[in-house]
Structure 1
Amino acid sequence: MTSAHNTPTVQPGELLDDSALLSLEDLARTCHMAPDWVSERLEAGLLQADSPDGHWRFVSATVVRARRLAQLETTFDADPHLAALTADLIEEVAHLRQRLQHLEAATGPGPQPR
């Protein structure tokens, strides 16, 4: 499916690759939120997007972050900034775990706790 701007329309739950770009409406639909919700997070600097032609375009990493923000806000009735801080921490822990796995793969596991 395509939208009026020849951008593929992504259905909720559809797996995205790194080259897939979503419109604001597609991102909102994927997160089960209103387009205004996405716009508010963009204006607050909680989500990142490109707008080369005047239309917002979102990459798959932003989809993951937006879904996480929506889940945190909905599940815990979290303030958007608190949800973003929590998402930042979750992303940082995942990044550190990945680095540790790469390090352990290259050098072997470190000492085991007793």
Structure 2
Amino acid sequence: MSKSIIASSVSVWIGDEGVLSLEEMALACGAEVDCIVELVELDVLAPQGADATAWRFAAADVQRARRLLRLMRDFETNLEAAAVILDLLEETERLRARLRRAGLAPD
């Protein structure tokens, strides 16, 4: 069964293997290919594959890249700063989840 990832008014289909090429990833994120390459170079994304022509991105990568690009836009910041913000947000979410599982999170 195929899944659809929607980027603004564009829809990108992820096949049964659940992966996107570099070009499909850029389209799904509404970004330029160079931007996705920079995200990989900054270790924001970690695609499978030896080089850009073989890279394959999972649906979770689309979500992470979109969130980072939204942070850049909302906070009018550069890629590096948005990556730090994203890492801090994700760490906060992980810690809150651990507190909830331990029954220590306030309601």
Distance apart, 1:61 and its partner CA: 2.2
Displacement of 1:78: 1.1
Larger strand proportion, structure 1 or 2? Answer: 2
> What is the one-letter code of the residue matched to 2:93?
A
1:49-93 residue CA offsets vs partner (Å, 9 max, x unmatched): 111585111122222210111111122221111100100011111
SS at match of 2:63: helix
Percent sequence identity over aligned pairs: 34
Using structure 1 for the length normalisation, give the TM-score.
0.70
Tell me how many residue pairs correspond in the alignment.
Answer: 97
In 2 relative to 1, CA 9–33 (structure 1 residues): closer, same or farther, beyond 3 Å?
farther
* TM-score w.r.t. length of structure 2: 0.74
Shift in alpha-carbon separation, 1:65–1:50, aligned structure 2, 3 A: same
**Number of the residue aligned with 2:27:** 29
1:12 aligned partner: 6
Residue 57 of structure 1 pairs with residue 56 of structure 2: yes
Q: Gaps spanning 5+ residues in structure 2: where?
A: none
In the alignment, the residues of structure 2 paired with residue 96 and residue 73 of structure 1 have an alpha-carbon distance, to the nearest angstrom, of 24
Pairs within 5 Å for 1:53-92? 54-92=53-91
Equivalence for 1:96: 95
> Residues 22 and 10 (structure 1 numbering): CA distance in 2 closer, same or farther, change over 3 Å?
farther
Mapped to 2, the partners of 1:31 and 1:91 lie a distance apart of 19
Root-mean-square deviation (CA, aligned residues, Å) is 2.7
Which of 1 and 2 has greater Rg? 1
Match of 1:12, SS state, is: strand
